[in-house]
């Protein structure tokens, strides 16, 4: 059972960065809660613990001590940037680290960039407390700049926060090799093995490479061992509070019209808990 520790940055008396009517502590909490929900919705074989689930004040020592004592397998600290830049970046410790930390970071970075259209500021290293003092592989993500009007507009959109969270969830699952649920997240799955190619996987499951890429929102032919791919079957999504058809279509790389046609919808109204076929 993999243990995932999600750390929404700041909280309580520490608001974090502020700008364009947003406070970092509120946005990071929303992303973390959504990431937790996507992990439980789409994957199995794991448990999730958060450093906070509300507007609590948490010291840096509390966060790492809590993750260390729990025996977490991965520490993911979620933040929003500030300082005049634009886009997404992530960090791992700039001291001695395991190769696993680098591999995990590469997979999380890749999955987040599949979901968002933030400017890609790259993979970086720093001497941050949560990266240095955690005893397990750790990453700190910086999801846009709160003081940039363009990034802030995205962070004000619940649909866009879903995209950020889905990228985190898929990246964490890929890093830890979590099994994708069938039915809820959609379809039968295959875990990529050393030496596999998209062509060989497609042949083994009687589909085309184009279909395989479409099912998994792949924009290129790069795959890696441990990656979980949907290989057959319809893909379904359970509607969460605040979601729209447009936002769901964006999550799965499809269109609103396609979702409406699959489900016989004549309008744009959907309800929390409703199960929709999306592919």
| Active site positions, annotated | 142
Residue 257 burial class via C-beta count within 10 angstroms: exposed 0-12, middle 13-18, buried 19 and up: exposed
**Residue carrying the six token digits 């184009």:** 210
Q: What is d(CA 208, CA 205) in angstroms, rounded to the nearest whole number?
A: 9
User: Which residues is 275 bridged to in the sheet?
Assistant: 238
User: Under 8 Å CB-to-CB from 96, ≥6 apart: which residues?
Assistant: none
Alpha helices, H only, 20-157: 24-42, 60-70, 99-115, 129-132, 149-155
**Local structure of 216: helix, strand or coil:** coil
């Amino acid at each position: 059972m993999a243990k995932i520790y999600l750390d929404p940055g700041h909280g309580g008396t520490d608001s974090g960065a502020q700008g364009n009517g947003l406070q970092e502590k509120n946005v990071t909490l929303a992303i973390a809660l959504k990431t937790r929900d996507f992990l439980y919705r789409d994957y199995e074989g794991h448990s999730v613990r958060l450093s906070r689930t509300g507007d609590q004040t948490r010291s840096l020592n509390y966060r790492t001590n809590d993750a260390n004592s729990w025996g977490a397998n991965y520490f993911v600290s979620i933040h929003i940037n500030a300082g005049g830049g634009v886009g997404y970046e992530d960090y791992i410790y700039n001291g001695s680290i395991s190769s696993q930390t680098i591999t995990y970071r590469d997979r999380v970075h890749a999955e987040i960039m599949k979901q968002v259209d933030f400017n890609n500021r790259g993979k970086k290293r720093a001497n941050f407390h949560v990266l240095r003092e955690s005893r397990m592989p750790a990453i700190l993500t910086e999801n846009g700049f709160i003081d940039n009007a363009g990034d802030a507009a995205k962070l004000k959109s619940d649909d866009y926060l879903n995209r950020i969270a889905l990228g985190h969830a898929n990246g964490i699952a890929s890093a830890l090799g979590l099994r994708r649920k069938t039915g809820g997240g959609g379809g039968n799955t295959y875990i990529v093995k050393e030496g596999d190619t998209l062509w060989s996987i497609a042949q083994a499951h009687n589909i085309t490479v184009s279909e395989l890429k479409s099912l998994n929102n792949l924009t290129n032919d790069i795959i890696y061992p441990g990656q979980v791919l949907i290989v057959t079957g319809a893909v379904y999504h359970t509607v969460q509070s605040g979601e729209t058809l447009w936002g769901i279509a964006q999550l799965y790389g499809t269109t609103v019209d396609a979702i409406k046609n699959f489900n016989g919808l004549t309008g744009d109204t959907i309800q929390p808990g409703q199960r929709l076929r999306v592919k």
